Structure 1
């Protein structure tokens, strides 16, 4: 169950946020995540509350006001190969949607399976 957090500067249109979130979800599905496993949130912050360097570490073009930070929290165990494939797929989808991949930062966060309680407080993947 990936939990996707999109952080952007205000103001962003609903269409902009939807394009990014749809691209992330489609890339996750292409990497093996079930289609119905969609949990996403958006943090839309004032410029003073979302600060970033325009060029770190080696961007081809400086970041703009449309910079997006995508955090993907998922269960541990995906290989670097899977992550690279997901990133390639995601950047292609975002570029097709008109977004500059240089304006996108992705952070993968991993947790063990027993740290997910999907509903009702049930730990489905935990032993006793």
Structure 2
């Protein structure tokens, strides 16, 4: 059920981008997302179209910033969300080598009836 959007500066290899997607997917599995529920859009941006504050909240960000937005069903605990953030940052630090300071995650929670996975059907609607 999650839809993941990953945004980064243009110029990284396909292997780098795929590693980011894999780490995010594995972190979501770790907090209860079903296996095989992988829908991701990875978008690269020119520097002029990828704007961010390099020191907001005292965190030193570089042009290697990765912005990850996950839209998923509501209902997870704060502890699960914290575990997700930690797993993504640690995983990306390990492979492909993104500094934890350059990992920005945003969660968007929606009701289950707000999904159609195909055929014009709301598969999760009651």
Same fold per TM (> 0.5)? Answer: yes
Report the counterpart of residue 84 of structure 1 in structure 2: 82
Q: Secondary structure of the equivalent of 1:57?
A: helix
Give the TM-score, by structure 2 length: 0.94
Gaps of 5+ in 1: none
Query: Once the two structures are superposed, what CA deviation does each residue of 1:62-90 show, in whole Å capped at 9, x if it has no partner?
Result: 21121100000001111111100111111
Query: Once the two structures are superposed, what CA deviation does each residue of 1:8-61 show, in whole Å capped at 9, x if it has no partner?
Result: 1111211111111111000001111122000000111111111001111121xx
Q: Secondary structure of the equivalent of 2:15?
A: helix
Gaps of 5+ in 2: none
Query: Once the two structures are superposed, what CA deviation does each residue of 1:78-125 show, in whole Å capped at 9, x if it has no partner?
Result: 111110011111111111112101001000001110000111010122
Aligned length: 125
**Following the alignment from structure 1 to structure 2, what is the Cα–Cα distance between the partners of residues 119 and 73?**
17
How far apart are residue 126 of structure 1 and its match? 2.1
Report the counterpart of residue 119 of structure 1 in structure 2: 118
Among residues 52, 62, 65, which one is paired with 1:64 in the alignment?
A: 62
Runs of 4+ residues deviating >3 angstroms: none
The root-mean-square deviation of aligned C-alpha atoms, in Å, is: 1.0
